[in-house]
């Protein structure tokens, strides 16, 4: 199995599906032919000539609602439904761009060196696509009481318009109460010798806005005042340090910190949650602090006297990552007030305002994940966490779906190492980690899916 699994991932990596290349269909057709060779069933949902979504099932009947819906779309209905809420294994075929000169091994060669498979997508998220596919293969023949489908989407890294968003809008009645196994978790952190596996159970919001400052112009260099420039830096500084009042800690984060405190035998209550932070290794400080509050980051600055477009005026672009409980409207209000206090004539323009979500995990499922790790010889505590990035999981929220980001790796690699590879250089995964994820997902689903 070892060779074949790594070859499958290597071949998948070699199909360049990076955002600027954009030919996701090739990658999807590759997975489709593999699925067919395993005797699985497939449905290709075309969205553009080079993009689409692929659905894979172990039973033919689980694809029937898609075929029915296509028939109905042509006849102006879209009422096709599953008999029971489906379980969905979700990944994406597209990958972010890679600058080949920075890599030890070319990002689209899929090199297999010293037991590691190299290339863009080795972790995010081609590994997950392959892991899900082999999990489906392992589960073939299970007498399922509910639909189980694997979904591989396009454009996850660039807005999902021709990917998951289209799938959900073209087939709107298939997702109510679904359970979605997604990317974004299964990572390991080690604290005081104890192992904690993170399951993604929520995401921060993702908002962006621009600030166009006072139309007063920067002065010439002969009679300098730099008044406008300094105003601009005051706005940047105030937003960067903006602390929203009365922020409520997400339940997933409270649960995570409670479980960590219990394992470390540290006194803990959510009133003094900051006390546990001093036990957490400094390399995780930034990740943990980002889970505790809404943050603001400057992403672009344009202006200055010699800028031909803005002619002395300044335009700033910001990214806001609010905690899930934060009201979008109150965040908008606070940002406007902060900016107007410094520059009353500034114009704030909101580009996107996506709130976050926090679903938590049932104790039954959390313990099950721990049991499955134990069956592979890993003694660890599974903890929910809220991702500080964002992924396609959020689009399932209107359907009241349960979304769990989980595809675990062996204890040999920790979160801080993985995070540098995701969207970074020298992305790679060991064959052991790949196999571990497949074994774990197979076990977890065998224990979770209802059968006759």
The answer to whether residues 157 and 95 touch, using CB atoms and an 8 Å cutoff, is yes
Q: Is 95 in the site for Zn ion (CB under 5 A)?
A: no
β-pair type (148-153, 87-92): parallel
Q: Is 155 in the site for Zn ion (CB under 5 A)?
A: no
CB 56, min distance to Zn ion, A? 18
Q: Is 125 in the site for Zn ion (CB under 5 A)?
A: yes
For Zn ion, the closer CB: 164 or 280 = 164
Q: Of 186, 154, 164, which Cα lies nearest the Cα of 414?
A: 186
CB 186, min distance to Zn ion, A? 13
> Which part of the chain contacts Zn ion (CB under 5 A), choosing from 116-124, 280-288, 334-342, 403-411?
116-124
Give 428's contacts (C-beta < 8 A, 6+ positions apart).
116, 117, 118, 119, 122, 123, 421
For Zn ion, the closer CB: 110 or 147 = 110
Peptide bond connecting 277 to the previous residue in cis, omega within 30 degrees of 0: no
> What gap in Å lies between CA 185 and CA 210, rounded to an integer?
31
CB 332, min distance to Zn ion, A? 28
CB 90, min distance to Zn ion, A? 10
3-state SS, 299-331, equals EEEECCCCCCCCCCCCEEEEEEECCCCCCHHHH
> Which part of the chain contacts Zn ion (CB under 5 A), choosing from 46-54, 95-103, 180-188, 247-255?
180-188
Q: Is 94 in the site for Zn ion (CB under 5 A)?
A: no
The answer to whether residues 43 and 67 touch, using CB atoms and an 8 Å cutoff, is yes
Instruction: Please tell me what DSSP assigns to residue 220.
Output: P
For Zn ion, the closer CB: 125 or 257 = 125
CB 394, min distance to Zn ion, A? 13
For Zn ion, the closer CB: 161 or 371 = 161
For Zn ion, the closer CB: 12 or 209 = 12
> What gap in Å lies between CA 421 and CA 120, rounded to an integer?
9
Burial of 272 (0-12, 13-18, 19+ CB in 10 A): exposed
CB 83, min distance to Zn ion, A? 31
The answer to whether residues 399 and 393 touch, using CB atoms and an 8 Å cutoff, is no
Task: Sketch the per residue contact string, 182 through 221, with Zn ion: x for CB under 5 A, - otherwise.
Answer: -x--------------------------------------
> Which part of the chain contacts Zn ion (CB under 5 A), choosing from 125-133, 135-143, 337-345, 428-436?
125-133
For Zn ion, the closer CB: 82 or 118 = 118
CB 229, min distance to Zn ion, A? 38
Q: Of 193, 184, 187, 196, which Cα lies nearest the Cα of 260?
A: 196
For Zn ion, the closer CB: 164 or 235 = 164
The rounded radius of gyration (Å) of the Cα atoms in the chain is 24
Distance set, CA 17 to CA 51, 105, 118, 352 (Å): 10, 17, 15, 26
> Which part of the chain contacts Zn ion (CB under 5 A), choosing from 15-23, 119-127, 199-207, 435-443?
119-127
CB 183, min distance to Zn ion, A? 5
Q: Is 24 in the site for Zn ion (CB under 5 A)?
A: no
**In the set 16, 62, 94, 124, which binds Zn ion (CB under 5 A)?**
124
For Zn ion, the closer CB: 107 or 303 = 107
For Zn ion, the closer CB: 312 or 424 = 424
Count of residues binding Zn ion (CB under 5 A)? 3
For Zn ion, the closer CB: 51 or 255 = 51
CB 401, min distance to Zn ion, A? 18
CB 303, min distance to Zn ion, A? 34
Give 392's contacts (C-beta < 8 A, 6+ positions apart).
90, 92, 153, 156, 160, 163, 164, 182
> Which part of the chain contacts Zn ion (CB under 5 A), choosing from 176-184, 232-240, 296-304, 351-359?
176-184
Residues at the interface with Zn ion (CB under 5 A): 124-125, 183
């Amino acid at each position: 199995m070892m060779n074949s699994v790594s070859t499958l991932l290597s071949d998948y990596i070699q199909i360049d599906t990076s955002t600027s290349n954009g030919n996701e269909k090739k990658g999807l057709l590759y997975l489709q032919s593999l699925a067919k060779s395993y005797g699985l069933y497939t449905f290709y949902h075309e969205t553009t000539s080079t993009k689409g979504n692929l659905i894979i099932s172990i039973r033919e009947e689980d694809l029937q609602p898609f075929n029915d819906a296509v028939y109905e779309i042509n006849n102006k209905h879209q009422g096709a439904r599953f008999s029971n809420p489906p379980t969905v294994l979700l990944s994406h075929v597209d990958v972010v761009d890679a600058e080949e000169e920075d890599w030890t091994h070319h990002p689209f060669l899929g090199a297999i060196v010293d037991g590691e498979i190299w290339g863009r997508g080795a972790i995010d998220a081609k590994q997950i696509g392959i892991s899900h596919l082999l999990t489906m293969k392992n589960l073939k023949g299970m007498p399922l009481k509910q639909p189980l489908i694997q979904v591989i989407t396009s454009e996850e890294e660039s807005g999902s318009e021709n990917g998951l968003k289209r799938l959900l809008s073209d087939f709107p009645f298939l997702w109510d109460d679904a359970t979605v196994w997604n990317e974004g978790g299964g990572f390991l952190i080690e604290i005081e010798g104890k192992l904690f596996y993170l399951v993604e159970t929520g995401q921060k919001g993702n908002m962006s806005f621009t600030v166009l400052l006072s139309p007063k112009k920067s002065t010439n260099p002969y009679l300098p005042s730099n008044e406008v420039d300094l105003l601009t830096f005051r706005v940047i500084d105030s937003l960067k340090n903006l602390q929203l009042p009365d922020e409520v800690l997400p339940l997933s984060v409270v649960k995570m910190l409670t479980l960590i405190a219990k394992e470390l035998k540290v006194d803990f209550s959510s009133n003094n949650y900051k006390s546990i932070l001093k036990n957490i290794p400094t390399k995780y400080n930034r990740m943990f602090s980002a889970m505790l509050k809404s943050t603001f980051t400057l992403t672009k600055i344009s202006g200055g006297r010699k800028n031909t477009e803005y002619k002395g005026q300044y335009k700033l672009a910001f990214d806001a990552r609010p905690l899930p409980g934060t009201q979008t409207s109150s965040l908008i209000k606070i940002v406007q007030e902060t900016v107007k206090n410094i520059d009353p004539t500034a114009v704030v323009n909101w580009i996107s305002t996506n709130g976050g979500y926090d679903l938590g995990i049932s104790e039954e499922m959390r313990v099950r994940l721990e049991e499955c790790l134990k069956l592979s010889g890993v003694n660890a505590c599974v903890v929910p966490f809220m991702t500080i990035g964002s992924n396609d999981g959020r689009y399932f929220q209107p359907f009241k779906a349960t979304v769990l980001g989980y595809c675990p790796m062996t204890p040999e690699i920790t979160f801080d190492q993985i995070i540098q590879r995701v969207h970074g250089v020298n992305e790679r995964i060991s064959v052991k980690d790949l196999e571990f994820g497949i074994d774990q997902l197979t076990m977890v689903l065998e224990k979770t899916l209802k059968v006759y």
